Every structure is written in structure tokens, then in C-alpha cells.
A and B are shown apart, each in its own frame.
Chain A
Amino acid sequence: MCPNGGKIICAELFEPFFAECNVAEVVSFQKLDRSIVFPPFNLILVFVRVRGGRISSFQRACGSRPPALLVKASGPPVVPPFSQAEHNLPLPPHLLNRPLLDAIKEELERLFLDKVLSNLGLCISIYDIRTIEGGFVFPGAGSSTYKVVFRLIMFRPYVGEILCGKLKASDANVSLGFFDDIKVPVHLLPHKSRMGEDGIWIWEHECGDLPMDLDEEVHFRVTKINYPPIPVEQDANASPFSPMEIIGEIYGDGLGLLSWWSD
């Protein structure tokens, strides 16, 4: 910690930097023992919550000289981020007469396009291929294996992002066209909502009842993204397994049907 110890002293020291970097609150402090900085400096790791939801960390050397600030940037992901991945790709023999780049792209698309990767989101597209190495043929195999480094465009909204979708089923499911597994549970609907006779949710507002008709555009806030594990057994009548589920909320000003808030 700083020479005087005490959280309050450290918070004051960080304040000007916090304002610049959009810090919402300080989560915790930690002194690093394995430090690359020599005495009389101390290296402190400060965990902060940056506006947008992710926890990012500041490392700051505290000591008698003017301190240096090392900021480790980790911005929250916005729809849609890049992911850079490396994969050992076996190329099946029937693609060997095609130009290499096209064949590899086709194989990558077959493997990743429109698939959910755990904790990374839904893969929308292959952005580019950075490097291709290898081309070895392993004994007993007919396909040559390449090590490919490539970038994928993922759909992965961050917690707190506002998205616009269409209301689908009567139990408040929202759809984005390419992604349907967005649920709005009952407790995250506007305060004082009830289910009408025809299965449509109605918001009881002081200005009157506002029905949430189907196929209406709604703004909702992402509260959580779940990646449930693949079930081993499933009932015959269970709803189809969804590998990525977004829980949304329409509880708050500006959320809900667009027609409620437009001029």
C-alpha cells in the first residue's frame, strides 16, 4: 500500500485518473508481491468497475517520486466484438483441389458459423484469416492439418446494453431475427403488468392500459447471458435446448415498446 497506508489516501490519489477513465466505483485493492517495480515503489492493483459493467484493473506504482500509471485496458464488449482464435484444422481430402484460402475458409465456416461458443457468444461471421501454418499429414489420416489463426465476429452483448428486438411469444420472448433466445421473466416486466385474456401482457399505467402486442419493437436491457451446459438427457416434450440465453429486462424509463416513449 502507499507509505501512509489506508484506503482513503489511495482513493484520493486515484481520483483524477478515475474521472478520465469513466470509473463507476472501486471494488477492491490488492498489493502485488511479485512486482516488477523496484523499491521505493510499491505496485498496487486496484479493481474498479468501469461504466459498462466489466471489471478492469489499474496498476499504479506508489512511492516518493511522481507515480506512473499503467492502465490495463479491457473495455466491455459491445455488439459485436472480435474474437481471435487459433485452431488446428484438419482439411478433408475432397477440398484439397481448391485454393487453400477458400478451402480453409469453408471449413472454418462449417465449424463455427451460426454456432455458440461458450462464453464467447454466437459466431456471426469469419472476419479474416491471419496466419496459416503447417499442412502436415499425420500418419493414418487422409487430411492435412493446418494451424490457422483467424478472427471471428461474435454476437455478445454486454450486461447493461440496450438492444432493440421484436416481441415474439406471449410469455415475453424477444427476438432479434437471427437470435431468438431472449427471455424477459415476469419480475423484470414493468411494474404492475398483468396477463390479459388473449395471452398478451398489459402494463397498467396511470394513463391507461398499455398492451404489449406481438411483433412490436421493444427496447430491453441485457441483465444476464447464460450458457447452459448441453443436457445429457432431455424429455420428449421439453423445449429445444438453447446454448446461449439472454435474460432481458424492460423495467425502467425508456425501456419497453418503442411506441410508449416516442414523441
Chain B
Amino acid sequence: MKTLQANAGVLTNLEVLEFLRARGATSDPMGCLGAVAPSECKVFDYLVNTPACNQTRGAIDEFLKRCEKFKLAKAEKFNIINLRPTNQALIDPIIEYCEKRLTKDEARGIDEVQELVDLVLEVLPPPPAKPDEEMQDLEETPTEKPMEEN
């Protein structure tokens, strides 16, 4: 095999997820036997548990447009889209030399890191709640009244 181009383009997690979904992958392990290979199924399971599972292209485009002012590298933008960090501590390792590039001046009320975090929280949709959290919610809500028998 001859490699023509080792790096012909990059894909976000969402794009890979959509590609696998279009091929027929589902979360149900038995359902996707014919359409996709087991290894692709494992990749699909991993991606479904990341924030990419309910992102939309529109949200990503809006995020890319609005984060222009922070002058992030392409790789950093992709990493933020794939990871969806929810606070400053989680964004810090993604951006190289974060303290020097994003100004934080409490005297003048500028905190670009917090602005970026707020942008992420606002534009990129949150991942759905995990199943065990949903179960706890169900237990707390009152159960429906049983059907009255005539």
C-alpha cells in the first residue's frame, strides 16, 4: 500500500459519529451486526458517550464563528468541540500558554477564559444525563396513580 496523503483532512467526533450512523451503527450491539464491523461498533459506543452525541453542525459552525476573537489554533478548537470543557480548570490544559494568550484582568473586569467557558456552555449542547442519574430522578418523582378498576 502506498500512502498518498497521510493527513488529507480532519474530522470532529460528530462527523465520525454521523458517518457511522449513516452506515447503520446503533447503540444496540445486536442490531448493527450486518451493517458495520464489531470494531466500528466499539468506536460508535465510545463516541456516543462523548459530548458529540447530540451536537449539531449548526452549533459547531456557530461556535467556530464566535470563538474567532480568542485566536485559538485549529487543533485547540477541535479539542474543545470534542471535549466540551465546562469550567476553567478543564479548558486550561487544552490551550497552550493559556495565561499569556487569554487575558485575565480582574481590575478591568476582563476574563477571557471565563468568556470562552461561557461560550462553550451556551453554544455546544450538554451531553444527555447518564442512565444511572436518570434512574435516580425516576425514583424521586412520585409514581403515577394506578388505573382505577371499574
Contacts and interface: CB of A to CB of B under 8 A. Distances in A.
Interface residues of B, number: 46
Contact of A87 (B1, B12, B86): B1
Contacts of B9: 81-82
A75 B10 contact: yes
Nearest to A261: B89
Interface stretch (B57-65, B67-75, B132-140): B67-75
B8 A74 contact: no
B2 A124 contact: no
Contacts of A86: 1-4
B93 A221 contact: yes
Nearest to B90: A254
B92 A81 contact: no
Q: Is the interface of B mostly helix, strand, loop or mixed?
A: mixed
Most buried by A among B39, B45, B75, B90: B75
B5 A84 contact: yes
Nearest to A155: B43
Interface in B53-108: 71-76, 78-79, 82-83, 85-87, 89-94, 96-97
Nearest to B38: A114
Contact of A254 (B42, B92, B97): B92
Nearest to A260: B89
A63 interface: no
Contacts of B79: 78, 161-162
Contacts of A125: 16, 19-20, 23, 40, 43
Interface string A213-240: 0000001010000000000000000000
Contact of A82 (B10, B23, B75): B10
B7 A83 contact: yes
A239 B10 CA distance: 33
Interface in B4-33: 4-13, 16, 19-20, 23
Given A51-B76, A81-B11, A85-B1, A178 B46 contact: yes
Interface residues of A, number: 51
A162 B93 contact: yes
Contacts of B93: 162, 219, 221, 252-255
Contacts of B6: 83, 119-120
A76 B96 CA distance: 14
A85 B2 CA distance: 6
Nearest to B13: A79
A249 to B, nearest CB: 10
Contacts of B76: 51-52
A177 interface: yes
B149 to A, nearest CB: 46
A176 B39 CA distance: 12
A203 interface: no
A22 interface: yes
A186 interface: no
Given A24-B97, A162-B79, A261 B90 contact: yes
Pairs of residues from A and B, 5 with the lowest C-beta to C-beta distance, nearest first: A52-B75, A114-B39, A178-B42, A51-B73, A177-B46
Interface of B: 1-13, 16, 19-20, 23, 37, 39-40, 42-43, 45-46, 50, 71-76, 78-79, 82-83, 85-87, 89-94, 96-97
Interface of A: 19, 22, 24, 50-53, 74-87, 109, 113-114, 117, 119-120, 124-125, 127, 149, 151, 153, 155, 158, 160-162, 164, 176-178, 219, 221, 252-255, 261-263
6 contacts: A84-B3, A86-B4, A124-B39, A124-B40, A164-B83, A219-B90
